Chains A and B, each alone.
Chain A
Amino acid sequence: MRIGVTGASGMLGTALVAHLSKLHKVFATSRGKGIEGKDIEWDCFDLTNIQLLNKWLDRVKPNVVIHCAAIVNVELCEENFVLATKLHVETTKVMSNYLNSITGRLIYISTDSVFDGKKNKPNSESDLVNPLNVYAKTKLMGERPVQLMTNGLVLRTNIIGRTQENSASFAEWVLRCLIDNVPLNLFYDVNFSPLHVYDLSLIIEKIINNPIFGLYHCGSSDSISKYDFGKKMADIFQLSDSNINRVSVDDMKFNASRPKNMALNINKISTALEYDFPNAIDAIKLIKHQYNNKNK
Chain B
Amino acid sequence: MKEIQIENKVLGIKYPTYFIADLAANYSKTQHINRLTQVIL
Taking Cβ atoms with an 8 Å cutoff, the residues of A that contact B are: 72-76, 78-79, 133, 135, 163, 165-168, 170, 172-173, 175-177, 183-187, 190, 226, 247, 249, 252, 254-256, 258
Contacts and interface: CB of A to CB of B under 8 A. Distances in A.
Contacts of A185: 25-26
Contacts of B6: 168, 172-173, 175-176
B8 A166 contact: yes
30 contacts: A72-B18, A73-B16, A73-B18, A74-B16, A74-B20, A75-B39, A75-B40, A76-B16, A78-B39, A167-B11, A168-B9, A170-B19, A173-B11, A173-B19, A175-B6, A176-B6, A226-B22, A247-B25, A249-B21, A252-B21, A252-B24, A252-B25, A252-B28, A252-B37, A252-B41, A254-B21, A255-B38, A255-B41, A256-B41, A258-B21
A75 B16 contact: yes
A167 B17 contact: yes
Interface of B: 4, 6, 8-11, 15-26, 28, 36-41
Contact of B15 (A78, A167, A175, A176): A167
Nearest to B39: A78
A173 B11 CA distance: 8
B37 to A, nearest CB: 6
A177 B28 CA distance: 16
A184 B21 CA distance: 13
Nearest to A175: B6
Contacts, number: 83
Q: At the interface, is chain A mostly helix, strand, loop or mixed?
A: mixed
Instruction: Report, nearest first, the 7 A-B pairs whose CB atoms are least far apart.
Output: A254-B41, A75-B16, A185-B25, A168-B9, A170-B19, A72-B18, A168-B6
Contacts of A165: 9
Nearest to B38: A255
A198 B38 CA distance: 35
Contacts of B28: 252
A159 to B, nearest CB: 11
Nearest to B15: A167
Contacts of A252: 21, 24-25, 28, 37, 41
A184 B26 contact: yes
Nearest to A294: B7
Contacts of B24: 252, 254
B4 A74 contact: no
A120 to B, nearest CB: 20
A135 B16 CA distance: 14
Nearest to A71: B18
B24 to A, nearest CB: 6
